[in-house]
Amino acid sequence: MEGHGPSAYAGAMSTGASFDLVIRGAAVADGLGAPLAIADVAVRGDRIVAVGEVAGRGGVEIDGAGKVLAPGFIDVHTHDDWAVLAEPQHACKVLQGCTSIVVGNCGTSIAPGGEQVVARGGGFESIGAYLEALDNDPASVNTAALVGHGSVRTSVIGLRDNRPATEGELSAMRALVERAMVDGAVGLSSGLIYEPGKYAPEAELVALAGVAAAAGALYTTHMRNEGVGLLDSIAETVRLAEQTGVRVQISHHKASGRGAWGLVTQSLALIDAACAAGLDVMADQYPYTRGSTLLEQIVRAGELHGFGPEGDLTPAQVLIGAAPHHPEWEGRTLTELAEEWGCDGRAAADRVVAEEGRGCIVVLDTMTEADVETVMAHPSTLIGSDGIPLGGKPHPRLHHTFPRVLGHYAREKGVFSLETAISRMTGLSARRFGLADRGEVREGAYADLVLFDPDVIADTGTFTDPTTVPAGIDRVWVNGVCVAADGEHTGARPGRALRFSR
Ligand code: ZN
Ligand code: CU
């Protein structure tokens, strides 16, 4: 902490006004990894105006003794583009201490609208229009947006066209990405296992990532292969950084499938080597050994029953998280459904896909704990939930990512210090994604704050009961306004649309 002497708040005091809020005596985490330090934090309006010993009274006084006061958590990897509009209180994130989200990951964003977006219940013509909609009808959290390569490609070429873009199409796509950058998108995302991302030749990605690079924005990528092909995927990603100079964020860094376990040691070494060579490559991660994606994706890729690149996914490892037409299937494995239907697991998967299509989200048991910890301990790793806000039994990462990192991984397993853990979900995240004056507790920063009990904070959700409220979060403020207290949402919606700033 710096500049917290009496002069820091003398101006405010001389006006005779009190602070709107003072949180007293908490152990303050600055968001950049400095050791916790006991301090008072004073807020006026939407900003932190003093950190230190605060003499004036606040309109609201909070006793923070015994608690940690941290910057609100920033979820850099979400698929909340639609949810934050449809359910603007966004309790799944607010109640875990999250104050800002980045939407549009893995190649799919709500804008620019095309067939795919419209099919999912309406999109926006541009990122600018989306951010304006959030300005006009605010959510409880702040929202920043990536523009999805898949959404751009869909609106220009179509979802299922497995061919390179023509020159005219490429310049149309480039124009859409440029427009998104002008509108304030924080970067371009890709999803190279999904349609239509997987149809994009490297040259197309280079051309479009170059547009993000010119704006100083990020390129985030769900890479082509996270299984036995992980190292080739990292190499492809690093090559793209070399060719464009773009800052790269590898999404949900992991080694998926038994045959790939252990590869993270080498993938982290490749990231280190890229950074040593002057490139800017980082990653994000969710804190679980299970993943979650579309069942259709797994069936098409032939990943069930020992087929395909991942090789070893069995029906027992596939749990239904969302099945909009058959909620009674949610929370059950393909093995259980196959038994009930008197068929094998593959046939059960085919039936679910036939009836649910892209609406079926599954939870997959594919990683090993040692790899999760190895990735988390590495300084290139930020925290992002990758939660998918659909269905009755979503992967518990949707509601519990941040408390799980602080409770299970920092406190119980000692993967890293509490301060370091917090920095990887606050200050470092804000800097990486261009969110000015967010993610830090210091004078002048926005008052996005979370007060929690470091001895108690924990995830409470399980795979069969994933939507519980995490433990240990006392209070959450967004732009100086309290959005959650003692596990209850206050109903306030002080969130803002965030536009990229370098
Ligand atoms: Zn992804
Ligand atoms: Cu994702």
**SS3 of 146-161:** EEEHHHHHHHHCCCCC
Amino acid 301: pLDDT: 73
- Residue 172: which H helix or E strand, with range? helix 167-183
Q: What is the SS3 assignment for 398?
A: helix
> What ligand has the least distance to the C-alpha of 190?
1
| Side-chain-facing half-sphere of 374: CA atoms under 13 Å | 17
Q: At what angle do helices 127-136 and 167-183 cross, to 10 degrees?
A: 30
- Rounded to the nearest 10°, the torsion over CA 432, 494, 103, 297 is 140
DSSP code, position 495: -
Task: Kindly give the distance from the C-alpha atom of residue 252 to the centroid of ligand 2, in angstroms, as a whole number.
Answer: 7
Task: Kindly give the distance from the C-alpha atom of residue 194 to the centroid of ligand 2, in angstroms, as a whole number.
Answer: 11
Task: Kindly give the distance from the C-alpha atom of residue 300 to the centroid of ligand 1, in angstroms, as a whole number.
Answer: 16
Give the model confidence (pLDDT) of 218-236 as tens digits. 999 999 999 999 999 999 9
Note residues around ion ligand 2 (Cβ under 5 angstroms). Answer: 105-106, 386
Model pTM? 0.94
Task: Kindly give the distance from the C-alpha atom of residue 30 to the centroid of ligand 2, in angstroms, as a whole number.
Answer: 28
Task: Kindly give the distance from the C-alpha atom of residue 223 to the centroid of ligand 1, in angstroms, as a whole number.
Answer: 8
DSSP code, position 313: B
Of 63, 73, 81, 82, the C-alpha closest to 100 is 73
Task: Kindly give the distance from the C-alpha atom of residue 77 to the centroid of ligand 2, in angstroms, as a whole number.
Answer: 6
Kindly list the distances between the CA atom of residue 476 and the CA atoms of 77, 100, 137, 430, 451, in Å, as whole numbers in the listed order.
20, 12, 20, 18, 6
Of 324, 391, 362, 438, the C-alpha closest to 83 is 391
Strands 218-222 and 290-294: unpaired
Kindly list the distances between the CA atom of residue 254 and the CA atoms of 234, 257, 349, 418, in Å, as whole numbers in the listed order.
11, 10, 24, 22
Task: Kindly give the distance from the C-alpha atom of residue 394 to the centroid of ligand 1, in angstroms, as a whole number.
Answer: 15
Of 448, 488, 401, the C-alpha closest to 142 is 448
In the chain, the domains with their CATH numbers are: 10-70+444-489 (2.30.40.10), 73-290+365-432 (3.20.20.140), 291-364 (3.30.1490.130)
Task: Kindly give the distance from the C-alpha atom of residue 65 to the centroid of ligand 2, in angstroms, as a whole number.
Answer: 37
> What ligand has the least distance to the C-alpha of 194?
1
Task: Kindly give the distance from the C-alpha atom of residue 248 to the centroid of ligand 1, in angstroms, as a whole number.
Answer: 15
Task: Kindly give the distance from the C-alpha atom of residue 303 to the centroid of ligand 1, in angstroms, as a whole number.
Answer: 16
Task: Kindly give the distance from the C-alpha atom of residue 116 to the centroid of ligand 1, in angstroms, as a whole number.
Answer: 17
Amino acid 118: pLDDT: 53
Of 466, 446, 447, 469, the C-alpha closest to 458 is 469
> What ligand has the least distance to the C-alpha of 105?
2
Give exposure, 189-214, as e/b (b: 16+ Cβ within 10 Å). bbbbbbbbbebbeeebbbbbbbbbbe
Task: Kindly give the distance from the C-alpha atom of residue 251 to the centroid of ligand 1, in angstroms, as a whole number.
Answer: 6
> What ligand has the least distance to the C-alpha of 191?
1
Asked whether the CA dihedral 400, 403, 405, 408 is positive or negative, the reply is negative
- CA-based angle 349:352:354, to the nearest 5? 105
Task: Kindly give the distance from the C-alpha atom of residue 311 to the centroid of ligand 1, in angstroms, as a whole number.
Answer: 19
Give the model confidence (pLDDT) of 77-134 as tens digits. 999 999 999 999 999 999 999 999 999 999 999 999 855 555 555 689 999 999 999 9
Pure H helices in 282-435: 295-300, 334-341, 345-356, 369-377, 397-404, 418-423, 427-432
Task: Kindly give the distance from the C-alpha atom of residue 15 to the centroid of ligand 1, in angstroms, as a whole number.
Answer: 50
Amino acid 121: pLDDT: 58
Q: What is the SS3 assignment for 226?
A: coil
Q: What is the SS3 assignment for 411?
A: helix
Task: Kindly give the distance from the C-alpha atom of residue 347 to the centroid of ligand 1, in angstroms, as a whole number.
Answer: 26
Q: What is the pLDDT along the chain (502 residues), one digit of tens a residue?
A: 443 444 444 444 444 458 999 999 999 999 999 999 999 999 999 999 999 999 999 999 999 999 999 999 999 999 999 999 999 999 999 999 999 999 999 999 999 985 555 555 568 999 999 999 999 999 999 999 999 999 999 999 998 999 999 999 999 999 999 999 999 999 999 999 999 999 999 999 999 999 999 999 999 999 999 999 999 999 999 999 999 999 999 999 999 988 999 999 999 999 999 999 999 999 999 999 999 999 998 887 766 654 334 456 888 889 999 999 999 999 999 999 999 999 988 899 999 999 999 999 999 999 999 999 999 999 999 999 999 999 999 999 999 999 999 999 999 999 999 999 999 999 999 999 999 999 999 999 999 999 999 999 999 999 999 999 999 999 999 999 999 999 999 999 999 999 998 7
Task: Kindly give the distance from the C-alpha atom of residue 135 to the centroid of ligand 1, in angstroms, as a whole number.
Answer: 27
Task: Kindly give the distance from the C-alpha atom of residue 147 to the centroid of ligand 1, in angstroms, as a whole number.
Answer: 14
Cis check for the bond before 196: say yes or no (omega within 30 of 0).
Answer: yes
Task: Kindly give the distance from the C-alpha atom of residue 252 to the centroid of ligand 1, in angstroms, as a whole number.
Answer: 7
> What ligand has the least distance to the C-alpha of 80?
2
Task: Kindly give the distance from the C-alpha atom of residue 8 to the centroid of ligand 1, in angstroms, as a whole number.
Answer: 44
- Residue 332: which H helix or E strand, with range? none
Task: Kindly give the distance from the C-alpha atom of residue 105 to the centroid of ligand 1, in angstroms, as a whole number.
Answer: 7
- Residue 216: which H helix or E strand, with range? none
Task: Kindly give the distance from the C-alpha atom of residue 250 to the centroid of ligand 2, in angstroms, as a whole number.
Answer: 11
Task: Kindly give the distance from the C-alpha atom of residue 190 to the centroid of ligand 2, in angstroms, as a whole number.
Answer: 10
Instruction: Tell me the two tokens of residue 215.
Output: 């704006």
Kindly list the distances between the CA atom of residue 71 and the CA atoms of 27, 32, 297, 442, in Å, as whole numbers in the listed order.
12, 10, 37, 9
Of 141, 144, 96, the C-alpha closest to 481 is 141
> What ligand has the least distance to the C-alpha of 388?
2
Note residues around ion ligand 1 (Cβ under 5 angstroms). Answer: 106, 222
Task: Kindly give the distance from the C-alpha atom of residue 4 to the centroid of ligand 1, in angstroms, as a whole number.
Answer: 41
